[in-house]
Structure 1
Amino acid sequence: MTRVDFYLLPTDEPVARLQLVCRLAGKAFASLRRLHIHAATPAECALLDRLLWTHEDASFLPHAITHAADPNYPITLGHTVESLADGMALINLADDVPSQFDCFDQVAEIVDEDPDRKARSRKHYRLYREHGCELQHHQLELTT
């Protein structure tokens, strides 16, 4: 059964979402879990690519932008369904839930205070619940 974690941010700043993605990617890498980040757009994918190289002063997170599943990298980024691989963790930033989400052990959804994103997240929640996923919520606080 797929576990879905909803991370609730108390802001609508787009950079806060992406910073959280970098933190989650760091945790996945540290625990040796392969991760795919499913971006909403090519531009968001490119921005995440830059952030993963620079989000920590003393290190970087090894990753690659892919257009097909690639087991050679611990973290992959993509914005197409062809870039998804099964059996690893997924961070979904896309407007829709990928149809093959249940091929992943764990899925993370980032929810912020943007009204449109909140509405989409509610639809995602209902879809995951209908599919019998284990659902978790994490209310986050802003860090300075």
Structure 2
Amino acid sequence: MDAETQPAGTARVAEAAAETVLIEVPAHADYLPVIRSASAHVATRAGFTLPEVADLRLAVDEACGLLLRHTVRDEQAGLSGLGDLACRFVLEASELRVILSRDARNAARPQDDEFGWTILSALVDDIQWKVEGPTVHVEILKRRTAGE
């Protein structure tokens, strides 16, 4: 179906739909460079400026580190080994949402005055720590600068 035969508004709906990229790696610091590199690539593709890409890359790295430091796997509950660290990038018109997830217990949210949380808060537009059942999520939001 070409643009002339599409129902009115269909092309705009398709263009407005969010694009999602999902990466899963073992929950170990040795695999964080994969997620760091992916965050830079996704942000660049989404049209972020070089300083915004650098900020997002650092923020994703710090969020991964916080998630790994502040969660504990529960061997007795059948969560064996390191588990996986999932990273979902959701690209929308002018923002990028990154959701990092790990199955864990004892998911202590970092204190607001903890150095890593403070740095992370300064690099992104919003950050949330969520616990949903056995899964801990760190969600960060980065908006492109105005005029982009």
Whether TM exceeds 0.5 here: the answer is: no
Greater RCO, CA 8 A, separation 6+ = 1
- Normalization by structure 1: what TM-score? 0.29
- Normalization by structure 2: what TM-score? 0.29
Higher strand proportion (structure 1 or 2): 2
